[in-house]
Amino acid sequence: MTVVAKTFDSYATGYADKFNRNQIGIYQRERVQVEIAPYLQPGTAVLDVGCGPGSDFGFYRSKNLMIDAMDISEKMVELARQNAAQLGLSATVSHCDLLDFWTGKTYDVIVLNFGVINAMADAGAALEKLQHLLKPDGVLAIGAMPPFHLFSA
């Protein structure tokens, strides 16, 4: 288990309360949602990389999308699966590292929200992997965090 996986396993229990219910976290998620909304039609195939507890699942459900999601944290994946079930969202949620992720599918939209790219050991390899998972005219949305931000305090 990597340091990142251990860290997010330890954050899992209070993550939704800390990051999904404060105004800054809500604003950041909404900004990404506004940016990707024009590319989302019912049935759009979306991959949510680093889905955490499924924080964006309610938004995806409202758009009637086909969702695959993955996270490196086993505990976050458990929460995401519970969240999907509670929302009635049909989503396949995988526990794995992005570099090991494979469904045989390609995606119309791939989302790495809330600083997921910052936690990757090899961002170059991650971007190369994403290129193979993204359809030729697909959209890649990355919400990166600066080195110092309000959540690092």
> Higher-confidence residue: 17 or 152?
17
pLDDT digits (tens, 9 = 90+) for 56-93: 999 999 999 999 999 999 999 999 999 999 999 999 99
pTM for the full predicted model:
0.87
pLDDT for position 153: 47
Among 43, 19, 39, 14, CA closest to 29: 19
pLDDT digits (tens, 9 = 90+) for 18-42: 666 778 778 888 998 999 999 999 9
The β-bridge relationship of strands 107-112 and 91-95 is unpaired
141 strand-pairing partners: 111
What class is the 3-147 domain? alpha beta
Distance, in Å, from the CA atom of 16 to the CA atom of 28, rounded to the nearest integer, reads: 14
Domain limits, the chain: 3-147
